[in-house]
Every structure is written in structure tokens, then in C-alpha cells.
């Protein structure tokens, strides 16, 4: 009988993959063969609004993975589930057809995915003698395990961060890597002919790029494969991390790693990333050496924390805000404002620059994500879930945990003009993305309608702000206060 590893869209690598390694060990011990599988569900992509860039990134990574595994005589079969609801039946059918005795996979923490695994667990118990092991792999510290003095899981970032640093210092083995899978005997090609010959699907029609030019540009920006991801990390560590703390919030400097897509699809393992970072830090713990290292790892800890929050407040993965009272806010039905926000034509240069970056690169700098989100949900008072969805439909690094936490509604409202003056002091980021304003000097660029004469402003071909900042911020505060009080 055979041992199966089921790849999901969050562990697409053979290097340091806990589930895959456990499957390989099992196969070796039981003198059986290792086979692998990926369940392609186009309707899941529709459901989540997965962007063309991310859909393509997943398929390109699968292609590389399939080639690497085949060099070890390990097949990677691509099975298509036509319906979101028939995934576990498809898996069971595959298990039966291929005489599988053990299934391994890496855990996903969102509600639908947990339910799917529970359903599979029930099916293997009721209908077969197959075993199922789902391992923690996405984070260095297992979500839910860092607890407060009273025993509940941490819900506040600062104490979680402190506990995370202590935990990883005390248990250095949390960063130990596992080896890639061992090769199957060479004679399996015939036995698994059908699996070897299954091909990587084409992008579904609704997930095609708008043009060949866009496809080429985004493929170059986001090269696939573990090697490409680790190379990007090396470049960041060697050339950028030292200045990360000082410049991470200045989008014109491009001082961040751009590793998020590789983290979220599991193209690189978080253990491998942190082990390499520690090595770069001269073996010192993350908060002890380079200040850039400490600041960067703090962001990674946010990623781990958000997975802990997902399991504490699972409703956040089901279109509900963490603070359920925000579900009672009466949002504006501002169709024109929504269109302007999507196109980067709100009349607020910093916001528009961010939106044009996401529309071009399938990525947006974190400082801009915060600003465009605040502008949509507070100044425009448009339902933040539309923005969340827009990010899913455009980002290459979309991740439900990070995205829902980033969009979580709150009373904090960013002033995009003062934010731009602070984080883009020379206006270079705005100039890059909003070429209509490229000729403006000094402070004109941050709020051109205020600083230029009516005549000069209208010559720019750039819109007036869709809403007045001060009035709209006031409106949002009042609306939130009133609707939350009535909730």
C-alpha cells in the first residue's frame, strides 16, 4: 500500500515540509511508496476571489514542484474537484484507487478548511482503515499555544510578541529543519503512470491575466519556486535588512522584503526563513543583534499572531468583524466613490498611488494598505468587506488571516495627507504611481487642489478629492459611535 501527502495552497514545496517529511518517513518505514496529490478546485478560487496573479503563482509553483518530485520518482497528481462540497469524496476516491494506507497533510486554520479536514477524518474512520495525520507547518510557534498567566491564548500583540521571543529562545529546536522526501524506488513509473501523466491545469478563464504584457510583467516580479524565494531572502538580508527599521514605512525606498507571497503559499518554510535570519544575526536571538532583524522578525510574529487570532475568533474567516458590533454599521452605498477608489482616482494622491500600485504589481506596500483601507472604510464609509474582497482579487500575496486582520474596522482613521508627508516626504512614491502629478514641486504634491490655483489644478487632469477629509472623518466617528451603541 502507498503513503500519500496531500499538498494544499499553503505548503507548495518539498524543502522543510512537515507533512511531506512525515509521509516520506512513513513510506520508508513501511517499505511502501510515497505519492502526492493537489486538489484543484476552481470554485474555491471563485469563492475567495483569488486574483489571476495568485492563481498563476500557485500553478507555476506546482509545476516546479512536480518536476522536482518526479526526479525522485515521486508522482504529484492533480485532481480536480468540480464542486466546493465534493472535495473529501474526491480525496477518498483517490485514496481507494491508489491503495493508500496513510494520508498526511499540513494544517490550514480557516473554518472551511478545518471542516473539510474533520469531514475527511470522519470518512476515513467510518469507511476505511486509512489513517490521517494533519501537521502544523505554517508557523514556527503553533497557533493557540502561547497563553497568558490565566491559561487562555494571548489576544493582544505585545505580550504575544514577548512570549513568542521567549518561546523561540528557550526552544531553539523550533527552528530545526526536516529534510526533503527520499526518492521512491526507480520502478514505480509504470505503477503510477496515470499519476505521473496528470498535467498542471491551465488558468481558469475567469483567472486569466488582462493581457500578455501583464502576465509577463507579473511573472517577472514574482518568480516561482523555493530557490527564487530563498534568493529573494538572501538579497534582503544582505542588502536591505540593516535599514529595515529606519525605512520600512517609506514606500519609495522599497525597503521591505517582498517575501509575503512566498510565505503565504508556503514556497519557503517559515523555519527556514527564520533559521537563515538567525544565522545572519550571528546566531544571536532575534531581539539581540541587528535592530533591522528585530524589527523584521516582529512583522513575522504578526503573521504568527494572526493565525492564533483566527483560531480564537474563527468568525473572522466568515466575513464577520472580530468586534461583532462593527457588523451593525450602516455603510454608504457610494458607487461612484467605490469606482474611484478601485481605479486610484479618489483625488487623494497617497491613496491613489497605493491603488495604482496594487493594480499594476499585484502587491501594495504595507503603509499604503493601511491608508487605502482607512480611506475606504472611514472617509468613504464603504463596507470594508468590499475592500477586503478587492485585495483578494488583486494581491499575489493574499492571505485570509493577514487580510482580514488588516481590514478589521476600528476607530483609527489615518490622515492620508500627513501620512504622505511623513512616509513619502519627497513625494517620490506618489510621483512614480500618479504621473499626472509628477511635475509638482514641494508640498504641492500631497494635496494639489489646496495648493494650486483652480486653473493650474484643472490642467493636471487629476480629480478633486471625492470627500472632504475632516468632514468625512467626523461623519465616520459619529456613525460608528451611534451604530455600535445601538448594536
Binding site for ligand FAD (CB under 6 A): 248, 256-260, 263-264, 296, 299-300, 302-303, 306, 366, 369-370, 373, 391, 395, 397-399, 402-403, 406-407
Beta-carbon contacts of 18 under 8 Å, excluding residues fewer than 6 positions away, are 106, 135, 136, 137, 178
**Least distance CB 61 / ligand FAD (angstroms):** 16
Residue 104 marked as a ligand binder: no
CA distances 349 to 143, 389, 430, 453, Å, are 39, 23, 6, 17
Closest C-alpha among 7, 285, 262, 270 to residue 139: 270
**Least distance CB 203 / ligand FAD (angstroms):** 20
Nearer to ligand FAD, 118 or 318 (CB): 318
CB atoms within 10 A of CB 172: 12
Residue 47 marked as a ligand binder: no
Residue 302 marked as a ligand binder: yes
Nearer to ligand FAD, 398 or 480 (CB): 398
Residue 458 marked as a ligand binder: no
Residue 299 marked as a ligand binder: yes
Nearer to ligand FAD, 167 or 444 (CB): 167
DSSP 218-239: HHHHS--SHHHHHHHHHHHHHH
**Least distance CB 373 / ligand FAD (angstroms):** 4
Neighbouring-strand partners of residue 133:
104
C-alpha cell at 252: 519609495
Beta strands, E only, 81-148: 100-106, 131-135
Nearer to ligand FAD, 88 or 405 (CB): 405
Beta-carbon contacts of 250 under 8 Å, excluding residues fewer than 6 positions away, are 367, 423, 424, 425, 429
Residue 139 marked as a ligand binder: no
CA distance 294 to 288: 7
**Least distance CB 296 / ligand FAD (angstroms):** 6
Residue 40 marked as a ligand binder: no
Nearer to ligand FAD, 164 or 306 (CB): 306
Residue 256 marked as a ligand binder: yes
Nearer to ligand FAD, 27 or 370 (CB): 370
Nearer to ligand FAD, 302 or 457 (CB): 302
Residue 164 marked as a ligand binder: no
C-alpha cell at 465: 478629492
**Least distance CB 229 / ligand FAD (angstroms):** 11
**Least distance CB 364 / ligand FAD (angstroms):** 7
Neighbouring-strand partners of residue 7:
38
Nearer to ligand FAD, 73 or 322 (CB): 322
**Least distance CB 361 / ligand FAD (angstroms):** 11
Please give the residue whose beta carbon sits closest to ligand FAD in the complex.
Answer: 406
CB atoms within 10 A of CB 444: 17
**Least distance CB 174 / ligand FAD (angstroms):** 17
Residues in the chain: 487
Beta-carbon contacts of 306 under 8 Å, excluding residues fewer than 6 positions away, are 401, 402, 405
**Least distance CB 241 / ligand FAD (angstroms):** 9
CA distance 254 to 318: 33
Handedness of CA 406, 407, 408, 410 (dihedral sign): positive
**Least distance CB 368 / ligand FAD (angstroms):** 9
CA distance 102 to 76: 16
Closest C-alpha among 475, 472, 473, 447 to residue 462: 447
Residue 331 marked as a ligand binder: no
Helix axes 349-361, 416-423, angle to 10 degrees: 70
CB atoms within 10 A of CB 411: 10
CA distance 207 to 327: 30
Nearer to ligand FAD, 119 or 227 (CB): 227
Residue 341 marked as a ligand binder: no
Nearer to ligand FAD, 263 or 278 (CB): 263
C-alpha cell at 75: 508522482
- Helix (H) or strand (E) holding 39, with range, is strand 34-40
Name the strands in the sheet holding 2-7, side by side, starting at the edge strand that comes first in the sequence: 76-80, 34-40, 2-7, 100-106, 131-135
Residue 399 marked as a ligand binder: yes
Residue 382 marked as a ligand binder: no
Secondary structure (3-state) at 334: coil
Residue 430 marked as a ligand binder: no
**Least distance CB 252 / ligand FAD (angstroms):** 14
Nearer to ligand FAD, 192 or 296 (CB): 296
> Binding site for FAD: which residues?
244, 256-260, 296, 299-306, 397-399
> Binding site: which residues?
244, 256-260, 296, 299-306, 397-399
Amino acid at each position: 500500500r502507498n503513503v500519500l501527502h496531500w499538498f494544499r495552497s499553503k505548503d507548495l514545496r518539498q524543502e522543510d515540509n512537515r507533512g511531506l517529511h512525515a509521509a516520506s518517513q512513513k513510506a520508508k518505514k513501511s517499505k511502501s511508496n510515497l505519492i502526492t496529490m493537489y486538489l484543484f478546485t476552481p470554485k474555491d478560487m471563485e469563492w475567495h476571489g483569488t486574483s489571476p496573479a495568485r492563481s498563476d503563482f500557485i500553478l507555476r509553483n506546482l509545476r516546479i514542484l512536480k518536476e522536482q518530485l518526479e526526479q525522485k520518482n515521486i508522482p504529484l497528481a492533480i485532481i480536480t474537484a468540480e464542486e466546493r462540497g465534493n472535495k473529501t469524496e474526491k480525496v477518498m476516491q483517490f485514496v481507494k484507487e491508489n491503495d493508500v494506507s496513510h494520508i498526511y497533510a499540513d494544517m490550514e486554520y480557516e473554518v472551511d478548511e478545518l471542516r473539510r479536514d474533520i469531514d475527511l477524518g470522519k470518512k476515513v474512520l467510518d469507511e476505511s482503515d486509512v489513517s490521517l495525520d494533519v501537521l502544523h507547518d505554517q508557523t514556527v510557534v503553533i497557533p493557540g499555544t502561547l497563553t497568558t498567566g490565566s491559561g487562555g491564548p494571548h489576544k493582544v500583540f505585545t505580550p504575544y510578541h514577548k512570549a513568542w521571543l521567549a518561546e523561540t529562545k528557550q526552544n531553539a529546536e523550533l527552528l530545526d529543519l526536516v529534510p526533503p522526501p527520499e526518492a521512491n524506488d526507480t520502478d514505480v513509473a509504470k505503477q503510477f503512470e496515470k499519476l505521473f501523466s496528470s498535467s498542471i491545469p491551465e488558468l481558469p478563464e475567469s483567472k486569466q491575466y488582462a493581457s500578455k504584457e501583464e502576465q509577463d510583467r507579473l511573472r517577472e516580479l514574482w518568480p516561482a519556486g523555493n530557490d527564487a524565494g530563498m534568493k529573494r531572502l538572501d538579497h534582503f538580508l544582505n542588502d536591505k535588512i540593516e535599514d529595515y527599521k529606519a525605512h520600512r514605512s517609506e514606500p519609495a525606498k522599497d525597503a521591505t522584503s517582498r517575501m509575503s507571497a512566498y510565505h503565504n503559499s508556503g514556497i519557503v518554510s517559515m523555519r527556514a526563513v527564520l533559521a537563515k535570519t538567525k544565522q545572519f544575526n550571528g546566531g544571536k536571538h532575534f531581539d539581540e543583534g541587528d535592530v533591522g532583524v528585530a524589527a523584521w522578525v516582529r512583522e513575522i510574529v504578526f503573521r504568527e499572531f494572526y493565525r492564533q487570532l483566527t483560531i480564537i475568533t474563527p468568525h473572522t474567516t466568515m466575513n464577520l468583524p472580530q468586534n461583532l458590533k462593527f457588523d451593525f454599521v450602516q455603510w454608504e452605498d457610494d458607487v461612484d466613490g467605490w469606482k474611484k477608489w478601485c481605479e486610484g482616482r479618489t483625488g487623494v494622491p497617497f491613496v491613489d498611488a497605493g491603488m495604482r500600485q496594487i493594480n499594476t504589481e499585484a502587491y501594495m506596500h504595507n503603509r499604503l494598505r493601511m491608508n487605502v483601507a482607512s480611506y475606504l472604510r472611514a472617509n468613504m464609509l464603504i463596507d470594508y468587506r468590499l475592500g477586503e474582497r478587492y485585495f483578494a482579487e488583486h494581491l499575489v500575496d493574499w492571505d485570509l488571516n493577514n487580510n482580514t486582520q488588516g481590514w478589521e474596522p476600528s476607530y483609527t482613521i489615518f490622515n492620508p495627507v500627513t501620512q504622505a508627508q511623513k512616509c513619502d516626504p519627497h513625494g517620490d512614491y506618489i510621483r512614480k504611481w500618479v504621473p499626472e502629478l509628477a511635475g509638482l514641486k514641494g508640498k504641492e504634491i500631497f494635496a494639489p487642489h489646496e495648493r494650486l490655483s483652480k486653473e493650474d489644478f484643472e490642467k493636471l487632469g487629476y480629480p478633486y478629492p471625492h470627500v472632504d477629509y475632516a468632514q468625512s472623518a467626523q461623519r465616520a466617528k459619529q456613525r460608528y459611535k451611534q451604530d455600535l451603541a445601538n448594536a
